[in-house]
Structure 1
Amino acid sequence: MSGNPISRRRALMFGAAGLLAAPLAAGTALADPIGTNAVKVYLDPGHGGSDPGAVGNGLQEKNLTLDIALRTRTLLVNNWGVTVRMSRTSDIYRSLSYRSSDANSWGASLFVSIHINAGGGTGFESFRYTSTSSRTVNIHRALHPAVLSGMRSVASVTDRGLKTANFHVLRETSMSAILTENLFIDRASDAALLARADFRAAIARGHAQGIANALGL
């Protein structure tokens, strides 16, 4: 998401069109690893390509989200046999409409969009659509604490809570959808954690475990 919190929210709602770059350049494996489980999870690393998302403290959101999503995919495939598709597996641009349409046409069981926050705050928060099914509410309630627990296995992190929002990828997806905001890139203490590979691995473990818990795997 862009550094301006208002423009970030508008982009997520309406679908307007560095440090980690080297190690992530090789992360371009197949988009659809096939597991043994019939569950199909769509992972959406926020931003990419010409859209860096939020930028701060020498970091770019697009690189962080891709790294976390790739790690999450590996865990879901290896530990639970989940079939995973991603909106992107490299540093390329994908529109919001592409992300939602691709997940819908693929027939995903769950859509999880991974982002990094900006705007002067600190901590972790997650979102579901403003009006949604009880299944989505239950998935949200299972995923949020698992991600937070993963983060807290490495460092103290503020819980900003479970929230609702009219974001495009939550509104336009036909399956249950959750969007996570994993710390604030423009806060030095949060950025210092996000720059650490072990912390990003912990975020990924939290996402993978939360997805497994939510889907009863």
Structure 2
Amino acid sequence: MYKVWIDAGHGGKDPGAVANGVLEKDIALKVSLGIKDRLESLYEDVQVLLSRSTDVFLELRDRTAKANAASADILVSIHCNAGGGKGGFESFRYTSASQNSIKLQDTLHKSITAKLGGTDRGQKAQNLHMVRESKMPAILTENLFVDVAADADRLKQSIVIDAIIDGHVQGIATYLGLAKTKEDKPLTSEVMKQLEKLKAIVESQAKWIAAQKTREDMECPKWAESAYEYFKDYLSGKTGSYDFWRLLVVSYRKDEEIKAHKKQTKISP
């Protein structure tokens, strides 16, 4: 069982970089939770441990101490950037990094930039606490710039957050050589009937989403937008039925959020 330590930068009284209505600590936490969910759901023999799962403050020394005590196999610290001119993505390793850390950085960097697109600022080395004090291969990712308007706008889009999460997940899986939990095998007739019902639900939900987007005073739930985008990928053949099924199960855990939002807007799908 591989142990992956995911460190959501900043938190609590430390918001990290703040600009254009984006808080670095919020993006870092959202990405970290997404990595844990997808990596553990889609791959075998992997456990994802988090420095924080809520908006709390932790000292840097406490983060690395916990990761080292857990004997994690790798560590990835999640951040957003600021002060970078044109913006983009970059990653960091320690200045005297091990060959395994260099390999980890190269694998994740390529995976993330392939998913995220935009400006690639390169693979860099710096004397940062999280990569210096970690006993395992460790890297730090800087996922776009909150103070660059174009980057900040992207960070507000669920499809971009999904791309950042997927890039990290695929990079980690490739580095560790993880096997997927389940092949996308042909579905039985009974399961197919259930899937068709779920497809109909999401189709009707899409009409509600469209209605919400025409109302300037209401915001469509981010999870619903993400589910709809994934649904369109399923219809176009870009994603398999197993991943689609899994995403719907995860999405509909938020049923109470749906009900509350419908009650507030008085719009039914």
TM-score bucket (shorter structure): 0.7 to 0.9
* Match status 1:206 vs 2:170: no
AA in 2 matched with 1:103 = A
Quote how far apart the aligned CAs of 1:120 are.
3.5
Report how many residues are paired.
176
* Match status 1:44 vs 2:7: yes
Give the counterpart of 1:171 among 132, 135, 153. Answer: 132
AA in 2 matched with 1:61 = E
**Runs of 4+ deviating beyond 6 Å:** none
* Match status 1:190 vs 2:151: yes
User: 5+ residue gaps in structure 2?
Assistant: 179-269
Give the counterpart of 1:112 among 76, 84, 89. Answer: 76
AA in 2 matched with 1:162 = Q
CA contact (8 A) 1:43 1:87 kept: yes
Cα distance in 2 between the residues matched to 1:58 and 1:141: 31
Residue in 1 that maps onto 2:244: none
Give the counterpart of 1:91 among 39, 55, 77. Answer: 55
Cα distance in 2 between the residues matched to 1:73 and 1:42: 9
Quote how far apart the aligned CAs of 1:105 are.
0.2
3-state DSSP of counterpart to 1:145: helix
Cα distance in 2 between the residues matched to 1:139 and 1:59: 28
Which one has a bigger Cα radius of gyration? 2
3-state DSSP of counterpart to 2:123: strand
3-state DSSP of counterpart to 1:181: strand
Give the counterpart of 1:142 among 95, 107, 110. Answer: 107
CA contact (8 A) 1:139 1:215 kept: no
Quote how far apart the aligned CAs of 1:56 are.
0.3
After TM superposition, the score normalised by the length of structure 2 is 0.64
Identity %: 48
Cα distance in 2 between the residues matched to 1:120 and 1:135: 28
Which structure's relative contact order is higher, taking Cα pairs within 8 Å and 6+ residues apart? Answer: 1
Structure with bigger helix share is 2
Residue in 1 that maps onto 2:230: none
RMSD: 0.8
Cα distance in 2 between the residues matched to 1:89 and 1:200: 17
Cα distance in 1 between the residues matched to 2:67 and 2:98: 18
